[in-house]
Structure 1
Amino acid sequence: MTIQHPAASFINRGNKQILIDGRWIDAIDGQTFETFNPSTGEVIGRIAQSTAADVDAAVAAARKAFEGEWSRVKPYDRQLILLRLADLIDRNFDELVMLDTLEMGAPVVRAPWIKRRALSLLHYYAGMATQLGGETIENSAPGDVFAYTLREPVGVVGAIIPWNSPLTSTVWKIAPAIATGCTVVFKPAEEASLTSLRIAELAMEAGLPAGVLNMVTGKGDVGAAMSEHPGIDKIAFTGSTETGQRIIRASARNVKRLSLELGGKSPDIVLADADLDAAVPGAAMAVFSNTGQICSAGSRLFVQRSIYDEFVEQVAAFAETLKVGNGIDPSVQIGPLVSRKQLDRVTGYMTTGRNEGAGLVTGGSQLTEGDLGAGYFVSPTVFKDVSDTMTIAREEIFGPVVSAIPFDDLDEVVRRANDTPFGLGSGVWTRDVSKAHRLARAVRAGSVWVNCYQVMEPNVPFGGYKMSGYGRESGRQHLEEYLNTKAVWVNMA
C-alpha cells in the first residue's frame, strides 16, 4: 500500500529491521509480523520479529559499547547528543506524530502537547547529564580517613514500553539512560513500533555511538528474553501489572535493578464546592483523553452526593460532544482503540458493567457507522450508580469508560478511594484549600492532581504506590534509577 503523508517515506521503505551495534539488520531467523492502522484495520507495514538470539546479539553490542567507547564519552558530549536528538525530533516532528496516529490512533489534535512533552524531556535530561556527581562525607572513622561517593551508570538497560504513547514513551526511556552513561536494549510494543524505530534512526544521526542504543522488535517473548537475560543489569518497564509481576520473577536470575510503572485504577474526587465549569471537562478528559488508554486515567469518578446527578449528567453531555474518528482528521478528539484485541476487551467490560447493574448514561458500545466500522472505535462511556465491588470499578479497563460513584464525606471517600490494589494517579476538585491538602495527604497514589489532571513536567517525579509499581520517572529520582552509588575510603595517613 502506497501512503502519502508526512510519514510516507519511512513507511514505504519496506519491511522494518532491528538495530544492533549501529547496523539495521533483519531478525536472525528472518521472520516478520504485520502492523495495523486501528482506524481502518489496514496493514501498514511489516516489522522484524526478533527472537532470544536477537536479544543476545543486542545485549552483547550494548555491553561492548558500555565497556568500550561509550565509557569514555564525557557528560558534556552526552548532553550534546541529547540536544541534537531534540533538534532532529523537532525537525521531523510531523512525521513522528503521524506515525503515532497511523499505528496506534492518537489524534493529531494532541500534537502540540506531545511535541512540548518530548522536547522538554530531552532538554531536561540533556541539562541533567552534566549535573550528576557524588559527595564528600564527613566520617568518624579512626585516623585520617577521607570518604566520598561516585555515581556510576548501572550498565546495560533493558527498556520496554507499551503502545499507548510511543513517541513520548521512547524518549522517556532512552534519554535518562543516555544522560547517565548507560547503554540500552529497547523493545517497543508490537502494536506500535514504527515511531520508536524512526527515533532510533534519528538518535544515530545525532551521533550516538554504535551499540549504545539497540532496538529489538517483536512480541511478548522478546520482552521475556530481556527480563531473564543475565547480561542486562536493569529493566525499565511501563505496562500492565501482570507483565510487571512476570518481570519481577524473571529478574531474580541476576537480581536486576527494576523500575516499573504499572497499571492503575485512579480515583478522581469531586467535592460539592468544586468549580463545575472546570471540573466537568477536567474529569471527563481525565478518562477520555487518548481513548482512555492511559495508566493513570481517572476512571473511578467519586462525586459528592449533593451534586452527583447533576455532575454525572454534565459529564455525559460533554462526552456526547466529543468527535470520534480517524486521528488524521484534525477535528477528531477521540481516536480508535489500538487493536481488535483491545476493542474486545473494552466492549467486554461495557457489557459486564451493564450486567452487574451499573446504569449506562451514555455510550457503551462499539461504533460501526460509516468509515468507523472498519476500525476499532467505541463511544465515550459513562456509567452511574456504580458500586465499589463492580468489575468496572475494580479492574483497569484501559478504554474511555467512566465509573461514577457517589460519596457523602471526606473520611468515606478516602477509605473508598484507597480500597484498590493500585496507586498510580488521583485527582481532587475543590475550592477549599484545606480539603485539597487533606485529601492530597490521605490518598495513597504517586500523583495527586488538584483542580487539574494528568499535568506532567520533566522535573516532577511520576510513579506508583502498591501494585502500580515502584521507581520514579522524571525528576532527579528518575536519574537515580540508572545510577549506582560507590563509596570510596582513602586512608590519608
Structure 2
Amino acid sequence: MPVFEYAPAPESRAIANLKDHYKPFVDGEFVDGSGEPLKTINPATEEVLAEVGTASKSDVDTAVKAARKAYNGAWSKMPGTERAKYLFRIARLIQERSRELAVLESLDNGKPIKESRDSDIPTAAAHFFYHAGWADKLEYAGYGANPRPLGVAGQIIPWNFPLLMLAWKIAPALATGNTVVLKPAETTPLTALVFAEICQQAELPPGVVNILPGAGDIGASIVEHAGIDKIAFTGSTEVGKAIQRQVAGTPKKLTLELGGKAANIVFEDAPLDQAIEGIVNGIFFNQGHVCCAGSRLLVQESIAEEVLEKLRYRVSTLRVGDPLDKNTDVGAINSAEQLAKIRGLVESGDAEGAQRWTSPCPVPERGFFFAPTVFANVHQSMRIAREEIFGPVLSVLTFRTPDEAVAKANNTPYGLSAGIWTEKGSRILWMANQLRAGVVWANTFNRFDPAAPFGGYQESGFGREGGRTGLEAYLSV
C-alpha cells in the first residue's frame, strides 16, 4: 500500500504585517511605555519577532484614569443600540483582517495556522457579534429593569488563546457599558496590540479600551489599583489564588478561570472511531495548551487495550512542525519555560512507573517542540494524573463501573470540564449530573459557542464567561 507524503503548504509570513516595534495603547493612542521593552519570540524558531514597549505602574494609573474618564463620559450613558454599533464594527474588522491576525497569532504563539485560522480568529469575531446583540437587550436579560455597568474592568489574559481570550473579556465588558484596561500575556502581546489598531479603525471612543503589555508586575498593579471596579483573570491557579487574596475585603468584583485536569470518559458502548478523534482533539489541540484539555482519559477496562491501540496509531499520524504549514497538526510549545515544565512532569511519570509511549513523528531540531505522548498504566496518585501539564501529554486510567468512573473523574482539586462517550442518553444525563465540572461535553470535546457560558468550580475558578450568564459579571444587579 503506497504511503502518501504531505508536501509543505506554508502560509506566507508577510501576511502578518509584522512590525519591528509595538507600543502600549492608552486613551485611544499608541504611547511610549515607561517600562523595560521586551522582545517577543517565535517559539517555532526562537527568533525575535518584535520589540514591545511595556507599561509601568504609572502607565497603569494613566490608563485607569483614561478608562474612568471614558466611562463617566459618553460610554456608560450611551444607548445600547449605539454601543452595539461599535461592537459590530470591531467584529467585522476582525473578520476583514482575519488572515493577518491568524498568521500573527501563529508566529507569536506557536499554534498551527489551521487552528488560528479556523478556530481562534472566527470565534473571537463571533464573541463580538454575539455580545453586540445583547447591548440593547440588557433590561430583558433577567437582571432587573435597570442593570448598570460596574465601571472600569481590569482584565488579565493568558498566552494560550491570546486574541480569543481578549474577545471573551472585552466583548461582554463593552456590551454592558464598562471600559477596559487589559494586560496581554508577556509572551504573546502582538494580536492584542493589533486589536488596538482595530479599535482605532472602528472609531471606538478614546479610553474605552486600553492595552498594557508587560510582565506579572503590571497585572498586579492593575489588580491592586483603587480605580478598578472589576477583575477578570484567566491563567494559573496559583496566580488566581494570589489575586483572590488581594481583592478580598475590597468592593471589586472578581471572576477567575484557572487550571484544569479534565476527565474524558469512554464507555465500552462508545463509537470508538469517533471517540478517538475526540480524545486526540481533547488533548493535542493547541499543543495541549488548553485549561479544559481532556488530559485524563478514563477508559472502561473491557476496551482499554483496543482504545490504546487505535489511539497510538492515530497519534502517530499527527504532524509536528512549522506552525505556518497548513498541514501541521501540533505546533510549538509557547516558551522554553513551559517546555521545561512539560519535560519535568513527563520525567516524573517515567519515575513513578507509568508506561510511556511517544509518537515516532519527526520533531524539528530548532524551536520549542514536544512530541505527542501517551502514558498508560497511570494511577491516581501519580503527578501526571494530578497536576496540570499544559502540554501534549495524555494520562490513561481505567474503570469498571460508572460509579468508579465518576469517583476517579471527581478525584481532582479542579473542576473545569469533562467529556462523556457513550451511546446511552440516560447515562450521559446521569454522568453529567454527577461530575463536578463547569462544562460537560457528550460525544464531542472542545466545542465552544459565545452563547454558552464557560467556567469552573473548585480550583478551576468561579464565574462564567459567555452567554446570558456571562453578562452578569459586568453588571450591577
* TM-score band, normalised by shorter chain: over 0.9
Work out whether residues 76 and 149 of structure 2, in 8 Å CA contact, stay in contact via their aligned partners in 1: no
**Is residue 2:270 matched to residue 1:270?**
no
- Amino acid of the residue matched to residue 16 of structure 2? A
* Deviation for aligned residue 1:4: 4.9
- Amino acid of the residue matched to residue 68 of structure 1? G
**Is residue 2:127 matched to residue 1:121?**
yes
Alpha-carbon displacement from aligned partner over 1:202-239 (angstroms, at most 9, x marks no partner) = 01211210000011110001101111111100011111
Residue of 107, 132, 135 corresponding to 2:138? 132
Inter-partner Cα distance in structure 2 for 1:340 and 1:131: 46
Work out whether residues 281 and 446 of structure 2, in 8 Å CA contact, stay in contact via their aligned partners in 1: no
Work out whether residues 135 and 149 of structure 1, in 8 Å CA contact, stay in contact via their aligned partners in 2: no
Aligned ranges for residues 360-399 of structure 1 at < 5 Å?
360-363=356-359, 372-399=364-391
Residue of 420, 427, 430 corresponding to 2:422? 430
SS across alignment from 1:5: helix
Inter-partner Cα distance in structure 2 for 1:46 and 1:204: 21
Inter-partner Cα distance in structure 2 for 1:136 and 1:450: 28
Work out whether residues 13 and 103 of structure 2, in 8 Å CA contact, stay in contact via their aligned partners in 1: no
Percent identity, please.
44
Work out whether residues 339 and 368 of structure 2, in 8 Å CA contact, stay in contact via their aligned partners in 1: yes
Residue of 33, 39, 52 corresponding to 1:47? 52
* Deviation for aligned residue 1:417: 0.7
**Is residue 2:460 matched to residue 1:455?**
no
Inter-partner Cα distance in structure 1 for 2:137 and 2:84: 10
Inter-partner Cα distance in structure 1 for 2:199 and 2:439: 31
CA RMSD, Structure 1 to Structure 2 (Å):
1.7
Work out whether residues 345 and 384 of structure 2, in 8 Å CA contact, stay in contact via their aligned partners in 1: yes
Counterpart in the other structure of 1:6: 15
Gaps of 5+ in 2: 1-11
Aligned ranges for residues 211-360 of structure 1 at < 5 Å?
211-252=207-248, 254-360=250-356
Evaluate the alpha carbon distance shift between residue 282 and residue 368 of structure 1 in structure 2; reply closer, same or farther with a 3 A threshold.
closer
Inter-partner Cα distance in structure 2 for 1:385 and 1:72: 60
Work out whether residues 95 and 122 of structure 2, in 8 Å CA contact, stay in contact via their aligned partners in 1: no
SS across alignment from 1:374: coil
Inter-partner Cα distance in structure 1 for 2:25 and 2:237: 28
Evaluate the alpha carbon distance shift between residue 288 and residue 135 of structure 1 in structure 2; reply closer, same or farther with a 3 A threshold.
closer
SS across alignment from 2:88: helix
Aligned ranges for residues 25-174 of structure 1 at < 5 Å?
25-29=31-35, 31-110=36-115, 111-133=117-139, 149-174=145-170
TM, length-normalised to structure 2? 0.95
* Deviation for aligned residue 1:106: 1.3
Evaluate the alpha carbon distance shift between residue 380 and residue 135 of structure 1 in structure 2; reply closer, same or farther with a 3 A threshold.
closer
* Deviation for aligned residue 1:118: 1.8
Counterpart in the other structure of 1:407: 399
TM, length-normalised to structure 1? 0.92
Gaps of 5+ in 1: 138-147, 486-493
* Deviation for aligned residue 1:149: 4.3
- Amino acid of the residue matched to residue 116 of structure 1? P
Work out whether residues 368 and 377 of structure 1, in 8 Å CA contact, stay in contact via their aligned partners in 2: no
Work out whether residues 98 and 122 of structure 2, in 8 Å CA contact, stay in contact via their aligned partners in 1: no
Inter-partner Cα distance in structure 2 for 1:108 and 1:421: 33
Counterpart in the other structure of 1:470: 462
- Amino acid of the residue matched to residue 112 of structure 1? D
Counterpart in the other structure of 1:141: none
Alpha-carbon displacement from aligned partner over 1:135-168 (angstroms, at most 9, x marks no partner) = 999xxxxxxxxxx742000110001100001121
Inter-partner Cα distance in structure 2 for 1:348 and 1:107: 24
* Deviation for aligned residue 1:28: 2.4
Inter-partner Cα distance in structure 2 for 1:450 and 1:355: 34
Inter-partner Cα distance in structure 1 for 2:49 and 2:60: 25
Alpha-carbon displacement from aligned partner over 1:379-399 (angstroms, at most 9, x marks no partner) = 011000000010000000000
SS across alignment from 1:481: helix
* Deviation for aligned residue 1:71: 2.6
* Deviation for aligned residue 1:114: 2.5
Q: Which structure has the greater CA radius of gyration?
A: 1
Inter-partner Cα distance in structure 2 for 1:45 and 1:173: 25
- Amino acid of the residue matched to residue 230 of structure 1? A
Evaluate the alpha carbon distance shift between residue 4 and residue 328 of structure 1 in structure 2; reply closer, same or farther with a 3 A threshold.
closer
* Deviation for aligned residue 1:436: 1.1
SS across alignment from 2:333: coil
SS across alignment from 1:68: helix
Inter-partner Cα distance in structure 2 for 1:362 and 1:149: 57
Work out whether residues 37 and 44 of structure 1, in 8 Å CA contact, stay in contact via their aligned partners in 2: yes
Work out whether residues 134 and 150 of structure 1, in 8 Å CA contact, stay in contact via their aligned partners in 2: no
Work out whether residues 323 and 334 of structure 1, in 8 Å CA contact, stay in contact via their aligned partners in 2: yes
Inter-partner Cα distance in structure 2 for 1:224 and 1:332: 37
Q: Give the length in aligned residue pairs.
A: 465
Inter-partner Cα distance in structure 2 for 1:36 and 1:292: 20
- Amino acid of the residue matched to residue 362 of structure 1? T
Work out whether residues 101 and 121 of structure 2, in 8 Å CA contact, stay in contact via their aligned partners in 1: no
